[in-house]
Amino acid sequence: ASASTSARVTLAVEASKRGVSGSGSTPGSRTAIQSARLPPAPFPTAGEVYLPAGDGALQLSPMGLGTWSWGNQFVWGYEDSMDSELQRVFNMAVDAGVNVFDTADSYGTGNGLDGRSEVLLGKFLRECPSERVADVQIATKFAAYPWRVTPNSVVVAARESAARLDRPSIELGQLHWSTGNYQPLQERALWGGIADAYDAGVIGAVGLSNYGPKQLRRIHAYMTSRGVPIATLQVQYHLLSRFPEFDGTREACDELGIRMIAYSPLALGLLTGKYGVENPPPGLRGFAYKDVLPALPGLLSVMRAVGEERGGKSPAQVAINWCLSKDTTPIPGAKNTRQLEDNLGALGWRLSEGEVRALDDAAVAAGKSTSQNIFQTK
């Protein structure tokens, strides 16, 4: 690991001990929904705290929950019969102090355009018996569909998501991807639209997804001119996808005061230890990662050894904690309470610098990486 990475691990550990965030914030305007939000109750797991983002508009739990699988048939095999178990997952996560639930208007059944994940979250929010539900902060993403070519189309999308979520406003609204690689004119409309949604109070904070450092700096300059802080950037980040460390994304986030969210921290299940060449993931995942599977045993062996030294932590818990130790907010998915319970075991401790270094070295030795999102920009 580089000296800067080693220093970041140390800072992340110390920040967790002190109860402060490792990233700064960019001054900007506040909306009514931001100023009205009360601080969440203390995080129930010892040693963990909520971290501020977006000029104080957000207080993020150290780990969130991604809900791509909640409604997605094509990759995750969703069926309506799963809804009761998903509701139990939601309630358990809220009780455990998780307050970040990441979704998108494109997460849905069949053709993916019905926002099923948002609808389920709206129902679960209404029916959740926990007092902690008041602290939940929904993070949804607005797809750069080809028909969203005006700023107002993004504002409309935000209002439609809020309606599906049954909320007057959304705590964190995110551009799902940049069109800078293929439709730069649409890109400026998307920027203007999400800033307009922020100014109108439809969203309480602005986030991004799949932006690289060059495009991140461009949109940051635009948002600064509008007085709109960028709170978060989510990128694919895990032991088999470390490009944010090497392409300048990490440095740009630190410099600009943007909290980095790590999506797919378990590499769509590859880092759980459940899969291998003889037992590939089902469906599309098995096909997409067939070239990565032969490289897994060595990395998983180190992950298991680290987990054993940590009192029997699972590979999934080690993988998520690696993201935490890199000063990011991981958002692993969970389709059942067993998976969620495993994920929650990543909280309340941190890998040492030596353990992080050993895992980094094992990832390099594996010699394979998962492919980046096709919409990821430079």
The set of catalytic residues is: 107
CA dist 263 and 185 (Å) reads: 27
CA dist 170 and 198 (Å) reads: 10
Q: How many residues does the chain have?
A: 378
CA dist 241 and 364 (Å) reads: 10
SS3 sequence, the chain?
CCHHHHHHHHHHHHHHHHCCCCCCCCCCCCCHHHHHCCCCCCCCCCCCCCEEECCCCEEECCCCEECCCCCCCCCCCCCHHHHHHHHHHHHHHHHCCCCEEECCCCCCCCCCCCCHHHHHHHHHHHHCCCHHHHHCEEEEEECCCCCCCCHHHHHHHHHHHHHHHCCCCECEEEECCCCCCCCHHHHHHHHHHHHHHHHCCCECCEEEECCCHHHHHHHHHHHHHHCCCEEEEEEECECCECHHHHCCHHHHHHHHCCEEEEECCCHHHHHHCCCECCECCCHHHHHHCCCCHHHHHHHHHHHHHHHHHCCCCCHHHHHHHHHHHCCCEECCECCCHHHHHHHHCCCCCCCCHHHHHHHHHHHHHHCCCCCCCCCCCC
CA atoms in the 13 A half-sphere facing the CB of 317: 23
- Rounded to 5 degrees, φ, ψ at 212 are -85, 175
CA dist 110 and 107 (Å) reads: 10
